Amino acid sequence: MIAIIVLSMSIQENNPQDIINYHESNVRGYCRQFPFIIHSSEYSTITDTDGNQYIDFFTGAGALNYGHNNPTIKQAMVEYLNSNGIIHALDMATEAKIAFIKSFVENILRPRDMADYKLQFTGPTGTNAVEAALKLARNNTKRTDIIAFHNGFHGVTLGSLAATSNPHFRNAAGIPLEHVFFFPYDNPDITVGESLNMLTNAFTTHIEERGKPAGTIVEVIQGEGGVNAARPEWITHLRKLTNQHDILLIVDDIQAGCGRSGTFFSFEESNIKPDIITLSKSISGSGLPMSLVLIKEQFDIWKPGEHNGTFRGNNLAFVSAKAAIDTFWSTSDFIDTLKQRIDVVTQALNEIIKLVPAELTHKGRGMMQGISFVNPDNAKIVAETCVNNGLIIERAGPRDEVIKLLAPLNISEDELQRGLSIIRSAIQEVLG
Ligand SMILES: Cc1ncc(COP(=O)(O)O)c(C=O)c1O
């Protein structure tokens, strides 16, 4: 016993990283990939406790689309804190919530002809928003089956996990994950026509064999699944089929939403209106936890408090979310800059792919792009080399074979170029 206490004390005293390694559960993940201790963060840069700076192409797995500690967003939060604004209020009516709703409706929903969607504030994680969306689809239709897609990721609580395809996460469930069926996602290696036919046939067969499903859940750009972007025609066709068969369409915009795809919602290019939309990650604009489900009015059949949660109303997150919407989405300036940044990334990645075309493939669109490697080991070494050279970047895909670029949407062109050239050099170094 004494030996254990002494060991634990010496570990803590000698190396701060050991405190994490010793005390934190084996489940820890990112601190293994990024083996430094973070001291501070500003805009697109993270600084560690040794003073090393890293350009951030990871952005909290898409939770920091506007970068770290944006001064305007931070100022709004500081003023709110200094005014003794209420922080925790479950789903009570607060000034902060009302101000957020007004800004979101006027700047996001109304210009997109979506002002009639209802807003549900769920518990603050993405997976809780997905749980709510799946319940709604099932309760509205009185059916149980959900259609999800190969390589889709929707969270790790049991309902969402059932719709998440990766066995690494599914195997941890401890119970059978049922009532979700996986269809092939759009595949750029076949023609659009072939892909649409596959989708039609998958629905026809499922309905013949099991009856109609309650809903379909889809990411327009799959993030964790390997930065796979569905073609707009495929998403439009999915909407057509779900309408035709009276199946609810849930778009999970938790990672691809809030501007990441190049438009606020990832489905705008497809010109569709989903029945339910889940948002989280960057909706608070500050990295604070917050989640939102948008529901077409006719499907908002909840009874009061039926899907609840103690942390539905994080008012500081409402304040930062409003500041983000007002700052970035009330004029077209941000979208114009965003388009330029997307062009820079697209052009750079296309150039990089040409270095080793047999090994590399360009993935994704918008500010959610990536490079897939034939050999996943190469993706791992390239990502590690990037980190060693001052760029934080993560991997995605069923074999972790894709390096995924999630730079802040408002990153300066200079930092963006520097980050891209770190990737280019790492690939040249690793692949020769
Ligand atoms: C598309 C998508 N849905 C749901 C989730 C789950 O969100 P959370 O990790 O906040 O539960 C994620 C997280 O990466 C995601 O990318």
- CA distances for 335 relative to 72, 263, 342, angstroms: 18, 7, 10
**CA of residue 218 to ligand 1 center, whole Å:** 12
The secondary structure of residue 356, as a DSSP letter, is: S
6 in a structural domain:
no
Domain boundary among 278, 309, 329: 329
**Same-domain status, 274 and 143:** yes
Q: Is the CB of 269 under 6 A from ligand 1?
A: no
Q: Is the CB of 151 under 6 A from ligand 1?
A: no
Q: Is the CB of 394 under 6 A from ligand 1?
A: no
**Same-domain status, 384 and 252:** no
Q: Is the CB of 44 under 6 A from ligand 1?
A: no
**Same-domain status, 59 and 107:** no
10 in a structural domain:
no
**CA of residue 135 to ligand 1 center, whole Å:** 17
SS3 for 182? strand
239 in a structural domain:
yes
Best residue among 64, 122, 125, 127 to mutate for probing ligand 1, ranked by most atoms within 8 Å of CB: 127
**Same-domain status, 307 and 411:** no
9 in a structural domain:
no
Instruction: Tell me the chain's radius of gyration from C-alpha atoms.
Output: 22
Identify which of 281, 297, 298 has the alpha carbon closest to the alpha carbon of residue 289: 281
Task: Beginning with the edge strand found earlier in the chain, give each strand of the sheet holding 360-365 in spatial order.
Answer: 360-365, 368-373, 402-405, 394-396
7 in a structural domain:
no
**CA of residue 421 to ligand 1 center, whole Å:** 29
The secondary structure of residue 284, as a DSSP letter, is: G
Structural domains of the chain, count: 2
Q: What is the pLDDT along the chain (432 residues), one digit of tens a residue?
A: 455 555 555 555 578 889 999 999 999 999 999 999 999 999 999 999 999 999 999 999 999 999 999 999 999 999 999 999 999 999 999 999 999 999 999 999 999 999 999 999 999 999 999 999 999 999 999 999 999 999 999 999 999 999 999 999 999 999 999 999 999 999 999 999 999 999 999 999 999 999 999 999 999 999 999 999 999 999 999 999 999 999 999 999 999 999 999 999 999 999 999 999 999 999 999 999 999 999 999 999 999 999 999 999 899 999 999 999 999 999 999 999 999 999 999 999 999 999 999 999 999 999 999 999 999 999 999 999 999 999 999 999 999 999 999 999 999 999 999 999 999 999 999 998
Q: Give 170's Cβ-side CA count (13 Å radius).
A: 15
**Same-domain status, 406 and 389:** yes
**Same-domain status, 347 and 300:** no
pLDDT score of 157: 98
347-352-358-364 Cα dihedral, nearest 10 degrees? -50
State the Cα–Cα distance between residues 424 and 293, nearest whole angstrom.
39
**CA of residue 414 to ligand 1 center, whole Å:** 30
**Same-domain status, 192 and 290:** yes
pLDDT score of 15: 85
**CA of residue 431 to ligand 1 center, whole Å:** 32
The enclosing domain of 253 has a CATH number of 3.40.640.10
Q: What are 148's strand-pairing partners?
A: 182
pLDDT score of 13: 58
1 in a structural domain:
no
Best residue among 125, 149, 154 to mutate for probing ligand 1, ranked by most atoms within 8 Å of CB: 154
Q: Is the CB of 153 under 6 A from ligand 1?
A: yes
pLDDT score of 313: 84
Q: Which two tokens stand for residue 119?
A: 């807003």
Specify burial of residue 359 (Cβ count, 10 A radius: 0-12, 13-18, 19+): middle
Q: What are 252's strand-pairing partners?
A: 278
Identify which of 71, 20, 18, 79 has the alpha carbon closest to the alpha carbon of residue 42: 71
Q: Is the CB of 224 under 6 A from ligand 1?
A: yes
347 in a structural domain:
yes
**Same-domain status, 50 and 118:** no
pLDDT score of 327: 98
Q: In sequence order, what are the residues at sequence separation of 6 or more whose Cβ sits closer than 8 angstroms to the Cβ of residue 182?
A: 147, 148, 149, 150, 152, 165
Closest ligand 1 atom to residue 289 Cα is 10
**Same-domain status, 404 and 361:** yes
Identify which of 226, 191, 190 has the alpha carbon closest to the alpha carbon of residue 364: 226
Q: Is the CB of 293 under 6 A from ligand 1?
A: no
The enclosing domain of 341 has a CATH number of 3.90.1150.10
Tell me the residue range of the domain where 248 lies: 73-329
Tokens 């993030």 appear where?
223
Domain boundary among 329, 364, 387: 329
**Same-domain status, 65 and 80:** no
State the Cα–Cα distance between residues 101 and 315, nearest whole angstrom.
12
DSSP for 42-72 reads EBTEEEETTS-EEEESSHHHHT-TT-BS-HH
Alpha helical stretches, state H, 189-246: 192-210, 232-244
Q: Is the CB of 134 under 6 A from ligand 1?
A: no
Return the HEC string of 371-390.
EEECCHHHHHHHHHHHHHCC
pLDDT score of 5: 53
- 229, 220 in Cβ contact below 8 A? yes
Q: Is the CB of 287 under 6 A from ligand 1?
A: no
**CA of residue 290 to ligand 1 center, whole Å:** 12
Which residue's C-alpha comes closest to atom 16 of ligand 1? 255
**Same-domain status, 103 and 231:** yes
309 in a structural domain:
yes
Domain boundary among 310, 329, 348: 329
